[in-house]
Amino acid sequence: MQIQIKKLREGAILPTRGSACAAGYDLYAYGEEDGYILTPHSVLKIPTGIAMAIPEGYFGAIFARSGFATKRGLRPANCVGVIDSDYRGEIIVALRNDAGVNQQFNKGERIAQIVILPYLAVDFNEVDELDDTQRGTGGFGSTDVPAEPQYEQLSLFDLPGMEASK
C-alpha cells in the first residue's frame, strides 16, 4: 500500500520501521531545538512536521513505543490516537509523562508509532431490545474466575503417596 506523505517543515523526519516485520512506523518529534521537558503527570502536544493522506477505509493508530513507555513512562495521552483518512493536517502526538520525574527528549527522537489499520464503517440501528447471550449484561470482570471456586479442595493426605502416618 502506498501512502502519500508530506513534510510540512524542513528537517521533519519521515516515519521509519525498526525491522522488516514491524507493524508500526516510528514517528519523530519536531519542533523545539532545545528539546522538550515533560513534567510528571503532564501532557505536551508534540508536532511531527508531517501530514499524510491515509486511504479511505483505513486509519492511522498512534501507539506508544514500547521502550519509551516502559523505560521512561511516556505514552500517548489518549492511549491510542486516531488519524482519520480525511485528515490532512500535521500529525501531532499528545505525550503524557506517567513517571514521577521530569522526562526530557529531543527534536528528532522517536516518540510514538503509527500503524495503518482497516476499519468497518457501520450504520447503527436503534432497537427496543437486544438479543440474549450467555454473558448477557455481565460487565467488568464478568468473564473472570467465578466468585465461587469450581474445584474440590483436597487435603495433602488425600493425595496418592501422602497417607497419614499411623
Residues 6+ positions from 99 with CB-CB distance below 8 Å: 40, 72, 73, 74
Position 90, amino acid: E
Position 50, amino acid: I
165, burial (CB in 10 Å: exposed 0-12, middle 13-18, buried 19+): exposed
The structure's pTM equals: 0.80
Q: How far apart are CA 11 and CA 144, in angstroms?
A: 50
The set of cell numbers assigned to 61 is 493508530
pLDDT recorded at residue 156: 58
Nearest Cα neighbor of 88 from 66, 56, 123 is 56
Q: Where would I find the beta strands (DSSP E) of 21-135?
A: 25-28, 36-38, 43-47, 50-53, 58-63, 74-76, 81-83, 92-97, 103-105, 110-118
pLDDT recorded at residue 165: 52
CATH code for residues 4-109: 2.70.40.10
pLDDT averaged per 10 residues in sequence order, the chain, 166 residues: 97 96 97 90 97 98 92 93 97 96 94 97 95 85 64 60 54
pLDDT recorded at residue 151: 58
Distance of CA 63 to the CA centre of its chain: 4
Q: How would you write 17-31 as a 3-class SS string?
A: CCCCCCCCEEEECCC
